């Protein structure tokens, strides 16, 4: 389950916020609470700006269990036949899957050994991501590392022409063709249902294909085949992930006691009071990938028309020793949201040392979880006292269901935030600017 606390941030809103008039295009009554409720109702009714891109809600309203089973079956095949799955994509075509896999995976892999000491078919699959940059050394070293291994490829792109993943896939396709006689059986294309270069290539070469629904944008595609195939191949329960989101969607259907609405309203109120940057801070390093997914979701959805909070991420306690000074005493334009895990089912106890050379016996007998919780509480109170509005989201454990809940919570909240800002939260016109200049320099 998730728990939410936004009251410590809300008190930093300027007094003018509640008296604002309605945002142009919204029909709700004046006042922030009324406008937030109107935004919520527009999202549920599909009457807000960009409603043609609400497929991420529609797939939850009408779950396709046959598709979930098909993906699970493919994942079993990949885990049985392959040592490595290369996932090629950029932005929403890789961030969500990478985030979930990192959150659910152990930090250090322990292979499952058979009777003769060899890794068994149940050993973890290496899921490696490519196509999210154009580093020469990364791709060169990646393919060098694959020699002698059984490899599958999942290329994820609606168009098939986005430069970074298209380059990586050209390398991967030729490498696969030179190493496997059945390369077409080992390549899975997740793409547009009907059109695009990747769809055409998959049809020509006989790749298996899965559809990214046309009404789902990349950053909202985690619960489509774009995210579910890599997550399932990594060995995780996509049904629990998917239905965790379904459960959260149903819980957020009412505007009453709605934490996504409260989060959106608090963020907007602080934005209107002059704050410019939101930090999403975690105390569990496995959640850093989810922070990166959140960063894209909110950055691309809200950063338009010179509006929106800049999304930044911190991993504590590590970053308390790098940018902690700035957060505590720098320019007071920051708000901070803590994403916390309240799980102490297994925690190492700090040992006692009779000589106490490091002076740590005052924490001897305490668990690392207790120390981490104290670090969170101390950081929150210190930053609050330093003038940073703080709020918290707490997960009782890191599980597929809870991550599914968190995914929908953020998707719902950012949609409301976009409507409150008076922008379309589902497009990203600014992304094309760098592409145009890059293509010009490359001679396209």
Q: What is the DSSP letter of 189?
A: E
How far apart CA 286 and CA 243 sit, in angstroms, is: 22
**Cis bond upstream, residue 310 (ω within 30):** no
435 is catalytic: yes
321 is catalytic: yes
Residue tagged active-site, from 164, 300, 400, 411: 300
- The strand pair at 2-5 and 390-395 is best described as antiparallel
How far apart CA 425 and CA 408 sit, in angstroms, is: 15
- Closest-CA residue to 424 (of 26, 17, 19, 20): 26
Q: Is the Cβ–Cβ distance between 391 and 266 less than 8 Å?
A: yes
Residue tagged active-site, from 69, 133, 435, 437: 435
How far apart CA 442 and CA 332 sit, in angstroms, is: 42
How far apart CA 405 and CA 91 sit, in angstroms, is: 21
How far apart CA 304 and CA 296 sit, in angstroms, is: 13
Residue tagged active-site, from 306, 321, 331, 355: 321
How far apart CA 437 and CA 30 sit, in angstroms, is: 42
Task: Give the count of alpha carbons within 13 A of 321, CB side only.
Answer: 3
How far apart CA 218 and CA 298 sit, in angstroms, is: 13
How far apart CA 396 and CA 238 sit, in angstroms, is: 19
How far apart CA 338 and CA 373 sit, in angstroms, is: 12
| Cβ within 8 Å of residue 30, ≥6 positions away | 19, 20, 21, 22
177 is catalytic: no
Angle, CA 325 vertex, CA 322 and CA 391 arms, to 5°:
100
Residue positions annotated with a catalytic role: 300, 321, 435
């Amino acid at each position: 389950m998730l728990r939410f606390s936004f009251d410590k941030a809300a008190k930093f809103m300027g007094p003018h916020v509640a008296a604002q008039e309605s945002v142009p295009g919204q029909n709700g009554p004046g006042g922030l609470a009324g406008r937030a409720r109107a935004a919520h109702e527009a999202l549920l009714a599909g009457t807000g700006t960009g409603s043609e891109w609400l497929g991420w809600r529609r797939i939850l309203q009408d779950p396709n269990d046959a598709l979930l089973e098909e993906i699970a079956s493919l994942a079993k095949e990949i885990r049985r036949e392959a040592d490595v799955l290369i996932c090629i994509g950029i932005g929403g075509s890789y961030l969500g899957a990478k985030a979930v896999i990192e959150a659910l995976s152990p930090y250090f892999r322990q292979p499952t050994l058979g009777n003769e000491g060899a890794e068994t078919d149940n050993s973890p699959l290496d899921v490696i991501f490519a196509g999210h940059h154009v580093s020469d050394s990364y791709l060169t070293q990646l393919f060098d590392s694959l020699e002698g291994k059984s490899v599958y490829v999942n290329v994820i792109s609606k168009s098939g022409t986005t430069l970074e993943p298209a380059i990586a896939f050209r390398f991967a396709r030729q490498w696969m063709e030179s190493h496997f006689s059945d390369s077409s059986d080992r390549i899975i294309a997740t793409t547009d249902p009907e059109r695009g270069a990747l769809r055409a290539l998959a049809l020509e070469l006989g790749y298996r294909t899965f559809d990214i629904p046309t009404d789902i944008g990349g950053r909202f595609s985690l619960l489509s085949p774009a995210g579910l195939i890599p997550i399932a191949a990594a060995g995780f329960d996509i049904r629990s992930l998917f239905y965790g989101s379904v459960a959260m969607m149903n819980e957020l259907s009412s505007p009453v006691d709605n934490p996504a609405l409260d989060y959106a309203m608090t963020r907007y109120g602080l934005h209107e009071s002059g704050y410019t940057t939101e930090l999403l801070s975690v105390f569990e390093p496995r959640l850093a990938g989810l922070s990166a997914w959140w960063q894209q979701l909110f950055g691309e959805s809200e950063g338009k028309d010179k509006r929106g909070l800049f999304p930044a991420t911190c991993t504590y306690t590590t970053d308390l020793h790098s940018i902690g000074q700035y957060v505590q005493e720098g320019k007071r334009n920051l708000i901070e949201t803590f994403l916390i895990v309240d799980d102490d089912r297994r925690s190492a106890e700090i040992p006692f040392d009779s000589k106490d050379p490091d002076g740590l016996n005052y924490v001897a007998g305490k668990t690392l979880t207790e120390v981490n919780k104290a670090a969170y509480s101390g950081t929150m109170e210190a930053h609050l006292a330093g003038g940073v509005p703080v709020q918290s989201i707490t997960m009782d454990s890191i599980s597929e269901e809870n991550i599914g809940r968190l995914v929908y919570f953020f998707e719902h909240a950012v949609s409301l935030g976009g409507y409150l800002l008076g922008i379309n939260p589902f497009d990203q016109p600014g992304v094309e600017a760098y592409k145009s200049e890059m293509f010009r320099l490359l001679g396209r």
